[in-house]
Amino acid sequence: MIKQAPAAERETENEEVIWKGVYRAGGAAALLAVLVTLSEIAITFLPGGSASPETIGDWFTLFQDNWFLGLRNLGLLNLAFTTLAILVFFALYGAHRRANRPYAALALILFILGGAVFYATNRAFPMLALSRQYAAAASDAQRAMVMAAGQAMLAVGQSHTPGTFLGFFLSEVAGLVMALVMLRSRIFSRVTAYAGVIAFGFLLIFEVCASFVPALAAVAMLFAMVGGLSSIVWYLLTARRLFQLGQRAPQRRLHPSPSGIGAD
């Protein structure tokens, strides 16, 4: 006869198989997030990639000249990055669900909230629509109305300003919490955990300075550089470990036992 594993044990094994798939998906999402980050950096060096429009008219001109750069400068790639990072944080929650469930869940919830706020405040596509309305306006009065609407959009959706602070703040606090969970649980290496602490800590300081202390813009950029590079390292190391956790266990083989046929 064949020995049957207890129902609870079979459920645990099935659950672990499912989580291994989540780990692999999270690892792939982390690598894609790094690719998005590198693409963001590369675009900065393209003609017009580092342009920073100062007036609403300049923004409309940018959208009309290069709609992709207009969308990118208002956070298009950040939308893609945030979507990928949510999957990464979900996989990290799964990896720590037994070692430190409360704080891993807290980090996941904070990151989802931060992402939701960022989605809600992003104004890239509405600004594209307004730029087209501005180009089609037939009178100065119509253009003035569109410009007023665009100015209101920028007050909410321009990156690294008080309008977008809450979304970035929640996401970076979530990253700090998850990095501390990593450090405590030892499922991930200490190097990975410390890279996360540095990355999210420095990015949080940058966000505060950029949003509320414009006089420290030069110093804030230094924090952004260190935080950004550390973030790339953190996502790469996280991806590697998630792929390791997602490796399939070898199939158990049946073999004869004294009482019949059993499983290893």
pLDDT given for residue 197 in this prediction: 97
pLDDT given for residue 180 in this prediction: 96
Q: What is the mean pLDDT of residues 132-142?
A: 88
pLDDT given for residue 7 in this prediction: 55
Residue 161 lies in a domain: yes
Give the tokens for residue 156: 């909410």
For 255, the enclosing helix (H) or strand (E) is: strand 254-257
Statement: residue 219 has pLDDT above 50: yes
How many other β-carbons are positioned within 10 Å of the β-carbon of residue 35?
14
Residue 2 lies in a domain: no
In the chain, alpha helices (H): 7-44, 56-65, 67-73, 76-95, 101-121, 124-136, 140-157, 162-185, 190-212, 217-245
Residue 61 lies in a domain: yes
Residue 240 lies in a domain: yes
Q: What is the mean pLDDT of residues 126-149?
A: 90
Average pLDDT, the chain: 87
CB 161 within 8 A of CB 173: no
The model's pTM is: 0.85
CB 170 within 8 A of CB 188: no
Residue 177 lies in a domain: yes
pLDDT given for residue 263 in this prediction: 35
Give the tokens for residue 196: 């996360």
CB 110 within 8 A of CB 177: yes
- Domain holding 180, by residue range, is 7-263
Residue 178 lies in a domain: yes
Residue 108 lies in a domain: yes
Q: What is the mean pLDDT of residues 223-227?
A: 93
Residue 1 lies in a domain: no
pLDDT given for residue 253 in this prediction: 45
- Structural domains counted in the chain: 1
State the pLDDT confidence band at 157, using cuts at 50, 70 and 90. Answer: confident
How many other β-carbons are positioned within 10 Å of the β-carbon of residue 223?
20
CB 185 within 8 A of CB 100: yes
Position 17: which residue type? Answer: V
